[in-house]
Chains A and B, each alone.
Chain A
Amino acid sequence: MAQFLIRRLISLGLTLLLAALVVFVVLEILPGDPARLMLGLEAREDTVQALREQMGLNRPVVERFLLWIGGLATGDLGVSYTYSVPVADLVAARLPVTLPLAVMALVLALVLALPAGIWAASRRGQAADTGLMALTQVGIAIPNFWFAMLLVFVFAVTLRWVPSGGFPGWEAGVGPALTALMLPAVALALPQAAILTRVMRSALIDTLGEDYVRTARAKGLSQRAALWGHALRNALIPVLTILGLQFAFLITGTIIIENVFYLPGIGRLIFQAITQRDLIVVKSVVVLLVALVILVTFLVEIAYAIADPRLRRRT
């Protein structure tokens, strides 16, 4: 296990470094001078150059890459061009919005999907199963920004139960903060729940057809006991895989959802940073997210390895 961990950690580090390089190069190619964008139509070239100098944009590319990557390694994410504050502070201010939102969405998706998937699998082929599968198809097809707007229209504009968006901050209390995150979390969770339901259902159906379940049934276990006692645990592995993958989608999903609900989170930070050519923010936050996704994938792999020792040798 120790050797497995070390190998995984090294490849993790290399992946991260490569990702950082790709992000840097892509943003170098991206057209648009941040300094020019900040100064607008009337500014003269010398003013733009003065600002470029202040922003450190006139240094050679390699030097800038090394400075940046060195900073990242020591936890220094650089200073935002537009806000002139450390990127780390921006991220720290935005995480208390995005993280709870993502966790809420993930939990909600699981809470909806696992029972629904089990229920459908246990009624395979019946009307309830067919109906639920049709519903999940809709859930997957609906873009979450559209669903988000629908939620706002119903619960904020028409019923006026919740605000249409915005975030009061945790200092306003847990109640108002959670209220503000509720609709966005539902909007984020639903398409994920739809996918997870389908995965849960088919994984369970697959395992129910496995030899060991048949053996258990032959030994006199009821269908239900075989499902809960034997099939479910194994069926959770593909669900876990999808969950790991979905985490990345969840993060990109927040970019859209945070715009629809004007939440000051990480997603909105990236979106704004791209439009304002605040490249240092884009670079650092994207690498941070890549690191997060890699980490989650890593944790999922460890979970596999624990669940099934055979997997340790395969990598």
Chain B
Amino acid sequence: MHTRGSHLRAAALAGLSVLALLGAGPAEAAKTSVTLGVRLEPPHLDPTAGAAAAIDEVVFINLFEGLTQVDRDGTVKPVLAESWTISPDGKTYTFKLRSGVTFHDGTAFDAEDVKFSLERGKAADSANAQKARFEQIESVEVLGPTEVRVTLTQPVGDFLIFLGTGDAVMVAPETAAGNKAQPVGTGPFRFGQWVQGDKVELSRSPAYWGTPVKLETATFKVIADNAAAFSAMMAGDVDGFPIYNAPENLPQFAADPRFAVVVGTTEGETILSTNNARAPFSNLKVRQAIAHAIDRKALIDGAMFGYGTPIGTHFAPHHPAYRDLTGTYPYDLDKARALLAEAGYPDGFKATLKLPPPTYARRGGEILASDLKKIGIELELIPLEWAQWLEQVFKGKDYDLSIVSHTEANDINIYARDDYYFNYNNPELKALMARLDATSDEAARTALYGEAQEIITRDAVNGFLFQLAKTGVWDARLKGLWENAPVQANDLTGVYWED
């Protein structure tokens, strides 16, 4: 028996030494490649055929380009359109296109491609998540190889911004159908390979029309699990996470000189969605009471480890037209109780709070429930998967309260939409949104945006909680990644390694 025991020991030692040998990794060379972690794998690689942010986060700006682009500061800059003119009635846009642009398959980009791309978005069989926006386009006329005229059915104030989103990128008729698996765009990177379930690789496009990028290759590695993301960073297996989802780990990264923790803003307004058609939430005083009972600071500290900006309305604080309305309903439990009593609920009531999977919702839900309990509102927390949430809350409108981050840019118009899941119906706001659409003058638009924010705050349509922070962590030597996320993209065009 003794000999067998030593065999075992020998085997264990051999195993360990193999481990040690394999550990000797390759020496670090001058880096022209980057590996970034993303939490969700894109379902496919065509940004014009799906709403998943994961698609845009890999291919938008890097591989596909639009006529315009929302830049890192939120302004619109020309990309494939060199310049444009807008008719005085705001309905006709004439674009002068950049010449000498080719798709990655070598074919030229011209006005015909613009016509194709825009008409494809509104076609009957279009699966574009923003089809409604394309339907605002009445016609697209080719005036010449590099000139195209787009006529809208009505003035659309933010049309240029829309053209700078992933849903409106330019694609070629020859390759559009295959973009889900083999994306072909005009961007500085071209498609390398996609190992499903694992990673997407991009490489520098040799024929790019603009300034060539410094990186030769870029890999997006899919790491869904928070613990795995943490160890991948710590072990140096990935160079960074542009969006890092577990705020509790950030202090640890911040304390480590190898890493840079970068906190910016997103377009994500995190709100306590409220079913305005269902009693007792149909009562304005009840909604206002809830607004007074939310301790936003405690919520951000407790649910997000301090990352997030309090909001008082459905608008991004970094937007030029933002109005700070956080003071409208200060945290005041006595006021909240008084409002509840006035509404006829002196002893409070019971309701449900349906929560989608993200941490902000699950953790935020618990904190909110304890906040509202203080004024007698007993919340039953119901955790849901995304698919269930979409089915029950968003589509079925079968809910009392929910917590969700609305990440679309400039999406205050959802409050004027019929049949939206808030069940909020205000003709005054609808009229105002119609005027906003008809206005392209910047100052006038700012004023209208301001009014809209005040209306929804006054009506306390939802509980306005905080703007989701964009918390990223990456290798301290990696430069050029975006701090903020005004659009869903991980723009790598300016990314490089510092020596």
Contacts and interface: CB of A to CB of B under 8 A. Distances in A.
A9 B35 CA distance: 49
Interface stretch (B99-107, B230-238, B257-265, B441-449): B230-238
B385 to A, nearest CB: 7
Given A31-B391, A262-B228, A157 B408 contact: no
Contacts of A179: 22
Nearest to A266: B197
Contact of B23 (A41, A54, A159, A277): A159
Contact of B390 (A33, A167, A224, A272): A33
A165 interface: yes
Interface in A92-139: 93-94, 111, 115, 119, 122-123
Contacts, number: 167
B499 interface: no
Contacts of A37: 386-387, 390
Contacts of A31: 387-388, 391-392
B232 A165 contact: yes
Interface stretch (B150-158, B217-225, B286-294, B453-461): B217-225
A182 B394 CA distance: 44
A275 interface: yes
A54 B181 CA distance: 17
A32 B387 contact: yes
Contact of A166 (B44, B221, B391): B221
Given A166-B221, A262-B222, A83 B129 contact: no
A41 B237 contact: no
For chain B, which range describes its interface: under 10, 10 to 19, 20 to 34, or 35 or more residues? 35 or more
B128 interface: yes
A153 B231 contact: yes
Contacts of A260: 225, 227-228
A32 B391 contact: yes
Contact of B198 (A152, A159, A164, A166): A166
Contact of A84 (B44, B128, B227, B387): B44
Contacts of A115: 4, 8
For chain A, which range describes its interface: under 10, 10 to 19, 20 to 34, or 35 or more residues? 35 or more
A38 B51 contact: yes
Contacts of B391: 31-33, 36
Interface of A: 31-34, 36-44, 46-47, 50-51, 54, 82-85, 90, 93-94, 111, 115, 119, 122-123, 149, 152-153, 155-157, 159-167, 169, 175, 179, 182, 224, 259-262, 264-265, 268-269, 272, 275-277
Interface of B: 1, 4-5, 8, 11, 19-20, 22-23, 25, 41, 43-44, 50-52, 124-132, 180-181, 195-198, 221-225, 227-228, 231-232, 234-237, 385-388, 390-392, 394-395, 406, 408
Given A31-B388, A41-B408, 17 more contacts: A31-B387, A32-B390, A41-B394, A44-B131, A84-B180, A85-B196, A115-B8, A119-B5, A157-B231, A161-B19, A161-B22, A162-B19, A164-B237, A165-B231, A262-B221, A269-B197, A272-B41
